[in-house]
Each structure stands twice: as structure tokens, then as C-alpha cells.
Amino acid sequence: MTTPAPQSGNTTAATHPGESVPAEGQNSGGGNSSDGAAKTLLVVHHSPTEVGQRIAAVVLDAAREAQREIAESGAASVRIVERDALIPDANELRAADAVILGTPANFGYISGALKHYFDSTFDQVKDDTKGLPVSWWIRGGYDTTGAEKALRAITTGLQWDVAVEPVMFTGDVEPQREVLHNMAQAMVGLLVE
């Protein structure tokens, strides 16, 4: 199964599953909306290969499944926003209530695209996003150690909270499908607790 490359600012509102809504007008000031507005899960990833696209599809499908279940229960409204790491948006990140990051492990580090995302947003959001719940996936061909260390350092520098155990693996996606699915659904679940 392959999915198209992520669209910048691709969103889906839980109140109408499958309906695209603009990212503008989201919660401002670091997410954490308390006024009944939709909570936002931002999924920022770089998935240029077929394997990367399969991983992103598993995570996004699981998040949207949880989003639909929440909408059907009437418990809350959750918005899933997908962001291509090559097209950073600091305002979108600042408005998020939780974040999932996704990257291949390239030459012992995160992808250049995800590094570019943080290079472009770090200074703009560091004071406004402290405590932001985060998780991630890293898939490597042979090793993920350097990429794991880099994401932990970046998220620690931002003072984000690792809310759900990240998924790091090498090799095929299929054996990791369930853990990726569970990570994504747990991140959505955090938004309605």
C-alpha cells in the first residue's frame, strides 16, 4: 500500500471525518485549548520512499480512526494535521496540542528535511510550546541510534514531554504495524483525557 506524499497543511476535522479544513484559525498560543475548540494533533514527517510512505500511512490511518471514534462518541473534537517536514510552519506548530514526528534514520541522523523543520521553527516556538506532548517513529535500514539521540536532544531542548513511547526500528514495516498504530492512537487519546 502506498500513499501520496503529504500535503502541506493537510487537515481533517473530527466533527466531519474526511472533510478538509484550513489550518488557519487553529488554537493559538501553544495549543492546549480549554474553550471547547478542536484539539490538534500535528504529524510532521519526511517520508520520501515507498517504505516511509507505508509507515506514515499506518500512523495517519490509526490517528484518523481514533479521531472518528472520538467524533462518533461526541466526547470531543480532534483535528489531525499532516505536515511535510520540508515545508515548516511555526504558527501551525505553536497551535498544536500534541505532535508526532516521523523520519528515516539517514547516515546516523534524522532526515535533512526534519532537521530543516527544526532549524526553521525552533527559535520561533521554543518559548510557546514547553510541555507539548510528543512521540515519533524512526525507521532505519541498519541502525537508529544517532537519529534517536538527535530527536531526544531536540525535544529536550524544546522542553517537550515524550507522552507515548516512540517507535524506533530497522527493517520491514509489517512487524511494527501494531506498535505504530498503538502509538498514533494513544497520542490522539491524550487530547481527550
> What pLDDT is stored for residue 193 in this prediction?
84
Fold classification of 18-190 is Rossmann fold (3.40.50)
Q: What is the mean pLDDT of residues 59-79?
A: 94
Q: Over 70: is that where the pLDDT of 27 sits?
A: no
For the chain, what's the residue count? 193
> What pLDDT is stored for residue 35 in this prediction?
52
Q: What is the mean pLDDT of residues 158-174?
A: 97
Domain ranges in the chain are 18-190
**Distance between CA 127 and CA 109 in Å, rounded?**
25
**Interstrand relation of 39-45 and 78-84 (parallel, antiparallel or unpaired):** parallel
> What pLDDT is stored for residue 192 in this prediction?
92
Q: Is the pTM of this model over 0.75?
A: yes
For the chain, percent of residues with pLDDT exceeding 90: 77
Band of the pLDDT at 31, cuts 50, 70, 90? low
Instruction: Give CA separation, 88 vs 46, 91, 143, in Å.
Output: 11, 9, 27
pLDDT digit string, tens, across residues 99-132: 999 999 988 899 999 999 999 999 999 999 999 9
Q: Which of 20-24, 54-58, 142-146 has the lowest mean pLDDT?
A: 20-24
* 3 state DSSP class of 55: helix
Q: What is the mean pLDDT of residues 73-97?
A: 96
Decide if 98 contacts 187 (C-beta within 8 A).
yes
**Distance between CA 35 and CA 12 in Å, rounded?**
20
For the chain, percent of residues with pLDDT exceeding 70: 81
**Interstrand relation of 10-13 and 78-84 (parallel, antiparallel or unpaired):** antiparallel
Q: Which residues are within 8 A (CB) of 178 and not within 5 positions of it... i.e. 6 or more apart? A: none
60 closest CA partner among 86, 38, 79: 79
Q: Over 70: is that where the pLDDT of 175 sits?
A: yes
Q: How many helices (H) and strands (E) does the chain have?
A: 5, 7
